[in-house]
Amino acid sequence: MDSYKKPVILSTFFALLFAITLISNAQINVKVMVDEVIIYTEQNIDTSSTIRTTKGDIFEVTDVQDGWTQIHLFSGEERFIKSSQVSTIHEIPPYPSYTSVRKDLCAKVKKASSKASKNSLSKYPNTIDQQSSYEYFLFDKYVLDIYRTSDIPASNYSKLIE
């Protein structure tokens, strides 16, 4: 092999590897396209725990299959939306950069966490598994309301943690 070909081949290989890594780590987001959508705890419309979301809400996608879009919510739990009600978007509004806005948001999320914990404990005082599951559900519901009223996409939640 000619001496100049080896560095060209190696640099091409590493450039492709870098590009593939960037593409695979890209966050995919969806935007709710209808007036009101239900977020389910399972891929089943008969599940009892649901959260209502509205047109324009944006979520981070973790998977799509069988007519369902799996989204990542605040509790770390995966939730589900019917794929026909959302559309993939490539850009989301930026996360607020002002420290005062971020601090206010953190305080509201902390209150939502306490409220979710208190309400789940009162509903399921003797069943830790149900209590925990319900607490995550309520946390997602409360924080989604906070983000919506603050006009911040839910898919920006990971930036609050940073």
Identify the pLDDT of residue 19. Answer: 39
Inter-residue contact 131 to 124 (CB < 8 Å): yes
Distance of CA 139 to the CA centre of its chain: 13
DSSP category for residue 86: E
Is residue 18 over pLDDT 80? no
Cα–Cα distances (Å) from 43 to 58, 82, 101, in that order, read: 19, 9, 35
Q: What is the pTM of this model?
A: 0.76
Residue 54: strand pairing partners = 36
Question: What radius of gyration, in Å, describes the C-alpha atoms of the chain?
Answer: 20
pLDDT of residue 113: 95
Residue 117, pLDDT above cutoff 90: yes
Instruction: Give mean pLDDT, residues 1-16.
Output: 51
In the chain the first and final C-alpha atoms are separated, in Å, by: 49
Residue type, 141: K
Average pLDDT in the 54-79 region? 90
